[in-house]
């Protein structure tokens, strides 16, 4: 059975994960998507993917699962890192929603605009 996992990352303790959680929850409600789990971390993007719990996400996500993030910058520290991660997830069969950029990326996504935006 497929599941939806939300990834929330704040860079510092001064930032709040509550806003991201609320934004993702509201999005899920609007599109009729039940979010099964929230993965939250407060750590700078300069830390390793392990500390940012990206490796954990990659292990937990299965084909046909959905990953939700508020914006691309939550997934990595550089454009190359984010593109590599999204390409890996999509190739594995995961659908990725990036809410603020209004992007849905998945194996069935033929929207060139979405791909260019990433």
- The model's pLDDT over 85-95, given as tens digits with 9 standing for 90+, comes to 999 999 999 99
Cα(11)–Cα(32) distance, integer angstroms: 29
Cα(63)–Cα(78) distance, integer angstroms: 25
pLDDT beneath 50: ranges in the chain: none
Gap between the terminal Cα atoms of the chain: 28
pLDDT value of residue 23: 95
Length of the chain: 118
Backbone angles phi, psi at 98, to 5 degrees: -115, 105
Q: What is the pTM of this model?
A: 0.87
Cα(91)–Cα(116) distance, integer angstroms: 17
């Amino acid at each position: 059975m497929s599941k939806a996992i939300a990834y929330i990352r704040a860079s510092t303790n001064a930032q709040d994960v509550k806003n991201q959680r609320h934004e993702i929850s509201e999005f899920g409600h609007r599109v009729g998507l039940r979010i099964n789990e929230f993965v939250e971390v407060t750590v700078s993007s300069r830390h390793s993917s392990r500390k940012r719990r990206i490796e954990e996400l990659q292990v937990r996500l299965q084909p046909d699962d959905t990953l939700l993030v508020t914006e691309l910058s939550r997934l990595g520290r550089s454009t190359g890192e984010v593109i590599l991660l999204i390409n890996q997830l999509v190739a594995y069969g995961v659908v990725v929603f990036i809410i603020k950029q209004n992007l849905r990326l998945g194996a069935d996504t033929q929207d060139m605009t979405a791909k260019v935006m990433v």
